[in-house]
Chains A and B, each alone.
Chain A
Amino acid sequence: MRHIISLLMENEAGALSRVAGLFSARGYNIESLAVAPTEDPTLSRMTIVTSGSDAVIEQINKQLNKLIDVAAVMDLSEGEHLERELMLVKVRAVGAAREELKRVTNIFHGRVIDESESTCTIELTDTCAKLDSFLHSIDRDMILETVRTGASGIGRGERVLKL
């Protein structure tokens, strides 16, 4: 089953490789991994999208907690949460095809952030599943580049991951 795990870790050189190394060493899946410093520059927040049986997910949580640089871990999928991913898609489209692309983009609440004579770049922020649907809704042969950040997640309401 798909799980979205959030963690706070020391913003130190090597911390990211400890997490990435743990996943590869123990054979866990990483679907995506997004990381950046928080309002406290000594801490980084990471969102990992992974999948596995309940036993594997339990081990992933425990193994992450065991890393010395990891200060807090929360499996967001265990409760109410929100997730968003940013995607940039560059498409080759002119004339009617571009008009159709813009129409679809509007439906998905995306926006065009760059246009040239033959290309058009769209920005979309939504759940991973929505981004997948957008890609399925446009002509695959038109796509020149797809850039995705991986999901970032946060708990709903009072569900807070903080030190």
Chain B
Amino acid sequence: MELTGAEIAIRCLQEEGVEYIFGYPGGAVLHIYDALFQQDKVKHILVRHEQAAIHAADGYARSSEKVGVALVTSGPGITNAVTGIATAYMDSTPMVVISGQVPSYAIGEDAFQEVDAVGITRPCVKHNFLIKDVKDIAPTIKKAFYLAKSGRPGPVLVDIPKDISNHKTEFIYPGSVSIRSYNPVGKGDSAQIKRAVQLLLEAKRPMIYSGGGVVLSGASAQLTELVRVLGFPCTSTLMGLGAFPASDKQFVGMPGMHGTYEACMAMQYCDVLLAVGARFDDRVVGNVEHFAQVPRKIIHIDIDPSSIAKRVKVDVPVVGDLKLVLEQLLSELRSSKQMPDASDLAAWWKQVDEWRVKGGGLRYKNSTEIIKPQFVIEKLYEITGGDAFVTSDVGQHQMWAAQYYKFNKPRRWINSGGLGTMGFGLPAAMGVQLINPGATVACVTGEGSIQMNIQELSTCKQFHLPIKVVSLNNRYLGMVRQWQEFFHGNRYSESYMDALPDFVKLAEAYGHIGIRIDKPSDVEPALKEAFARKNDLVFMDFQTDPTENVFPMVPGGKGLSEVILSEDL
């Protein structure tokens, strides 16, 4: 039987086992929405803005091992989605975005709601397709899912002109897919593995630096085993938090701009650095010349060869799927029947522990007068037993959440690390809550970020998503204010958030519960009350200290050992 292109698109999603899609209808996708209406396997979550559809699909994918799926219309539908797509691209989220396009005969005529979707998204997708024939829909969607989740994952866009979604053809979903120009790697080269193990065994001051790739590859168990077998210190980037348990004594915290003193110093002064699924980005290694002043051997494992030797020179590159490569490393290590020199390692740990003492750990001066944002995160950690899914927006609150919520499991910390997209947290939390029903989901945000996608409180109401919004309201765009204080002579240009809404009333207007918390002594009771309400979304508006800064800090362009510790402690 022949089906329309729209019906085929939905059948493809069913074949891929897609349970939820996030989207917003419009002219060019009417046929697809009609096909969606006439089935009940794929459930649609109607967001209030297309950017949120993509972030929700992103949160859905990051907190599970599934491909996130979003559906948007042409023109403004896809341009609104671009921020979300770029966010997913920077953080390598597997995602398929289906966009409607004006009818194929109108393309190029500046038709109503026409934009070159493939052109606009090209720099921020793993790949994209413009469908030109209804027969191509099924094989293209098959390819899109394959590309999105294989190799280094990423978003893939499929743009379907309206007329083609109404043309008919036989539906045949391909059983397999092969693309001659795309062959993602699996295992690592065994000679490189041997060289890597040799270096690790000879190391006197070794360090393991793990990143988001470990989470994406599902290699958390392998990483944890390797770190424990070797006994080396382990640091994790913002994107990798949770892949190695943060409460483990071998964990030295995050490195980089707002990393711990010990992680920064150990990265700088190690003699062998094993980088696993991390990319030495500018927020981790601020100044690469400064970093290169200390001689060290670098082993870099990544599935994407272009991530290797991009910013720093690498001695032993290993290209492969981290899970497989780490298994290879472990087995090579076992068969070598050797271990790193215990006395060298003990001396190195002594040094690392001295840095721990000198850095003083993550600390802040608590107050009984004014709520310190770090205190809220510490209490959030306690009250949720460290077991919540935590999404965040972007800014100071994001850094405090990363620092003070000790993530012990992968896929629990969901934030926009690469693109730094304000407005990510709430819609991402919607995706997380949908794929993890019954789980505790907290969105740590600020009064700036939350207003970038606050309309999604309406989506949360419609779909009964009991997210707990933890808003650290300091009346400032805090990270901007912090940089203005440090580097721009206290000139707080446009960083004060004037005329803020009453967030309690706002939450209530959307049908939720709002709580305003002004005093430190009310922090814990408020959190307890909020998290006890299993079925309600609770918006907690914490009035926090507007002058608080994030420490430690490696200023932009500085070296890791130039880290500034909190000055007033």
Pair from one complex: yes
Determine which of B119, B305, B310 lies in contact with A17 in the assembled complex, contact meaning CB atoms within 8 Å: B119
For the complex formed, measure the closest distance between the CB of A52 and the CB atoms of chain B, giving whole angstroms. 13
Determine which of A9, A18, A62, A70 lies in contact with B305 in the assembled complex, contact meaning CB atoms within 8 Å: A62
Q: Contacts A14-B118, A55-B309 known; A70 to B181 CB distance under 8 Å?
A: yes
Chain A, residue nearest B128 (CB): A14
**Interface contact B122-A68, CB-CB below 8 Å:** no
A63 within 8 A of B: yes
Q: Mark B24-62, 1 if CB is under 8 A from A, else 0.
A: 000000000000000000000000000000000000000
For the complex formed, measure the closest distance between the CB of A135 and the CB atoms of chain B, giving whole angstroms. 36
Q: Mark A43-73, 1 if CB is under 8 A from B, else 0.
A: 0000000000001001100110110111110
Determine which of B126, B180, B304 lies in contact with A71 in the assembled complex, contact meaning CB atoms within 8 Å: B180
**Interface contact A66-B123, CB-CB below 8 Å:** no
Q: Total A-B pairs in contact (CB under 8 Å)? A: 39
Q: Contacts A17-B119, A21-B122, A21-B123 known; A68 to B306 CB distance under 8 Å?
A: no
Please name all residues of chain A whose beta carbon is closer than 8 Å to the beta carbon of B130 when the two chains form the complex: 13-14
**Interface contact B119-A25, CB-CB below 8 Å:** no
**Interface contact A68-B305, CB-CB below 8 Å:** no
B147 within 8 A of A: yes
**Interface contact A66-B122, CB-CB below 8 Å:** no
A63 to B122, CA, bound (A): 14
Please name all residues of chain B whose beta carbon is closer than 8 Å to the beta carbon of A14 when the two chains form the complex: 118, 122, 130
A160 within 8 A of B: no
**Interface contact A59-B306, CB-CB below 8 Å:** yes
A163 within 8 A of B: yes
Q: Mark B468-488, 1 if CB is under 8 A from A, else 0.
A: 000000000000000000000
Determine which of A55, A62, A71 lies in contact with B181 in the assembled complex, contact meaning CB atoms within 8 Å: A71
A62 to B302, CA, bound (A): 13
Please name all residues of chain B whose beta carbon is closer than 8 Å to the beta carbon of A18 when the two chains form the complex: 122
Please name all residues of chain B whose beta carbon is closer than 8 Å to the beta carbon of A83 when the two chains form the complex: none
**Interface contact A9-B310, CB-CB below 8 Å:** no
Q: Contacts A17-B122, A55-B309, A66-B304 known; A163 to B127 CB distance under 8 Å?
A: no
**Interface contact B127-A68, CB-CB below 8 Å:** yes
Please name all residues of chain B whose beta carbon is closer than 8 Å to the beta carbon of A69 when the two chains form the complex: 127, 181
Q: Contacts A59-B306, A65-B305 known; A163 to B123 CB distance under 8 Å?
A: no
B182 within 8 A of A: yes
Q: Contacts A21-B123, A62-B306 known; A68 to B147 CB distance under 8 Å?
A: yes
8 A Cβ contacts from B176-198 to A = 179-182
For the complex formed, measure the closest distance between the CB of B504 and the CB atoms of chain A, giving whole angstroms. 44
A9 to B306, CA, bound (A): 19
Please name all residues of chain A whose beta carbon is closer than 8 Å to the beta carbon of B309 when the two chains form the complex: 55, 58-59
**Interface contact B179-A66, CB-CB below 8 Å:** no
Closest 4 CB pairs of A and B: A71-B181, A62-B306, A68-B127, A62-B305
Binding site for B on A (CB under 8 A): 9-10, 13-14, 17-18, 21, 25, 55, 58-59, 62-63, 65-66, 68-72, 163
What are 14 inter-chain pairs, A to B, with CB distance below 8 A? A18-B122, A21-B123, A25-B123, A58-B309, A62-B305, A62-B306, A63-B306, A65-B306, A66-B305, A66-B306, A68-B127, A68-B179, A70-B181, A72-B181
Binding site for A on B (CB under 8 A): 118-119, 122-123, 126-127, 130, 147, 179-182, 304-306, 308-310
